[in-house]
Structure 1
Amino acid sequence: MGTTQLETVPEPKYWHLKTVLSDALDSEFAVGEILPNERELAARFGVARATLRQALEQLELEGRLQRRRGVGTTVAPPRVGVDVGSEAGPHTWPGAPGDAWQAEDHERAPAPAAVVRMLGVAADTAVHAVRRGRMTGGQQVASEVLYVHPDSVPALPPGADQEPDGSARARTVLRELHRLQLVGQDRTVELGSARADDARRLDRLPGAPVLVVTTRYLSEGGTAAVSVATYRADTCRLSFSDSEDVSLLAS
């Protein structure tokens, strides 16, 4: 790679660098190819490494690059389509037919502070925490924890709580949750940074950009469960339908 000096431009330097790097990705690199290290790239474009990192982070957010542990920064493959909804429709409990999520684990533990407020329980209350994963195209694109109010599923069937298989316990909790009448749900979407556990599950670096989708499931007694799903931001875009339901699709 030769040396390219950026000229003075009215827009932020990192943004202009992002455009230049994007053109280079199209003309000089193949999908999966590893980019030179930050020192070499900064020298080529005559920018500080902090400016380079801003441009790389933006390209990762846009799905052009992937940064992986032990590998480095590579050119990303085309995005894979992902839909937040299920084939059963938007107003269904998690785990209903058509739900693409796979149950992975279950534990009883206090929920995070934000979820505690939504569930309306005391901070030290143990709730059902169901961990699920979402695979698309052979890669995990999302990780979810579903926090179930203890009044929604006060007790599991005899022996289920002692089941050593966490995925089996998780599926049992979901089946018990389906006994309730779902009267509505609301959803929020925000940009966030991958925490260590989700980063490991999604094969991202800690701090990588993610989309956090929080869904509150309402029954006649109030909030029955809260889902916090973390999606890889490099795979997804938002789409709004006429019915005002929100779906998350990759381009």
Structure 2
Amino acid sequence: MGITQPETVPEPKYWHLKTVLSEALDSEFAVGEILPNERELAARFGVARATLRQALEQLELEGRLQRRRGVGTTVAPPRTVVAVGDGERSWPGGGPEIWQPVDSAEAQPPHAVARALGVPSDDPVHVVRRIRRSHGQPVAAELLYVPAATLPATAALGTLAGAARARAVLRELQRLPLDGQDRSVELGSARADDAKKLDRLPGAPVLLVTTRYFAGGGTAAVSVATYRADTCRLTFGDTGGPGMQLLAG
């Protein structure tokens, strides 16, 4: 049986149309603008509607388009820079307020997080939930795990709830001298709760950014941030500091 060489395989029609549509988005449409309906687009580019749908689906996967119920297909907003390299050295909530605190409660951490923190998995820890938005839309959800031993002076937390409690945990964390931090990025699938927060379907591709914060000779906190993979891309280079950056749209 012969093997077909990649260069001899013709480009699928929908893929070529995707390139043409992408150029049109750059030159003819503004962010948030609603595209013409499928019938008009198919007639303009001289393709079947099935071919058009494939091209639109690919552009949606790449984060160029967004489909909104009751609105239609719109042009996605530009991507924003989120540093995840060595250039950023601060506690969560210590820099510009790009994350919105949602709530905080005591809960048992996942086994992998407990191992990273060096605590028994049945020991409750402070769990802070935060959300990040871009152009009014959620692009990432974070769970920050902080052992009680990291924040010994938190008796007043029992009188707080919701976002106020989350901010109080972050304030106490920022009082500690930060020794350093490290990050890892991996591809994953959205769990049901994350999918709901990020307006995605369960199982949709996401990027998991795990950050360990070090203080007092050990791991003081662990953050697990879930980014929508359809609006994120990774770049490597020297932009404000050596290391890696994550671009989220």
Is the aligned partner of 1:106 residue 2:104? yes
Native 8 Å contact 1:105 1:130 kept in 2: yes
SS of alignment partner, residue 163 of structure 2: helix
Q: Which moved more, 1:178-187 or 1:76-85?
A: 76-85
Native 8 Å contact 1:190 1:213 kept in 2: yes
Is the aligned partner of 1:23 residue 2:20? yes
CA distance in 2, matches of 1:249, 1:12: 29
Which structure 2 residues correspond to residues 128-147 of structure 1 after superposition, within 5 A?
A: 128-147=126-145
CA distance in 2, matches of 1:74, 1:204: 16
Corresponding residue of 2:62: 62
Corresponding residue of 2:227: 231
Give the TM-score normalised by the residue count of structure 2. 0.75
1:224 deviation in Å?
Answer: 0.7
Which structure 2 residues correspond to residues 1-251 of structure 1 after superposition, within 5 A?
A: 10=9, 17-24=14-21, 31-33=33-35, 44-45=50-51, 58-66=58-66, 70=69, 74-84=73-83, 90-158=88-156, 160-163=157-160, 165-242=161-238, 243-250=241-248
CA distance in 1, matches of 2:108, 2:10: 47
Q: Deviations over 1:82-132 (max 9, x none)?
A: 32369xx61111111324212110010011222122112222111110001
SS of alignment partner, residue 168 of structure 2: helix
Query: In structure 1, what residue type is equivalent to 2:223?
Result: S
Per residue, is there more helix in 1 or in 2? 2
Query: In structure 2, what residue type is equivalent to 1:134?
Result: R
Q: Deviations over 1:56-82 (max 9, x none)?
A: 7654332133355x5698354242313
SS of alignment partner, residue 230 of structure 2: coil
1:220 deviation in Å?
Answer: 2.2
Instruction: Please list every run of at least 4 consecutive aligned residues from structure 1 whose deviation after the TM superposition is greater than 6 angstroms.
Output: none
Q: Deviations over 1:206-244 (max 9, x none)?
A: 222222111111112311111111122232222333343
Query: In structure 2, what residue type is equivalent to 1:60?
Result: E
CA distance in 1, matches of 2:60, 2:113: 29
CA distance in 2, matches of 1:233, 1:32: 23
Where structure 2 has 5 or more consecutive residues not aligned to the other structure, the ranges are 1-7, 39-46
CA RMSD of aligned residues (A): 3.5
Where structure 1 has 5 or more consecutive residues not aligned to the other structure, the ranges are 1-8
Give the TM-score normalised by the residue count of structure 1. 0.74
Query: In structure 1, what residue type is equivalent to 2:235?
Result: S
SS of alignment partner, residue 9 of structure 2: coil
Aligned residue pairs, count: 229
Query: In structure 2, what residue type is equivalent to 1:184?
Result: G
Query: In structure 1, what residue type is equivalent to 2:158?
Result: D
Q: Which moved more, 1:130-139 or 1:235-244?
A: 235-244
SS of alignment partner, residue 192 of structure 1: strand
Identical aligned residues as a percent: 52
CA gap 1:205/1:74 in 2 versus in 1, 3 angstroms: farther
Q: Deviations over 1:106-164 (max 9, x none)?
A: 01001122212211222211111000111222222211111112211235143x2122x
Native 8 Å contact 2:77 2:135 kept in 1: no
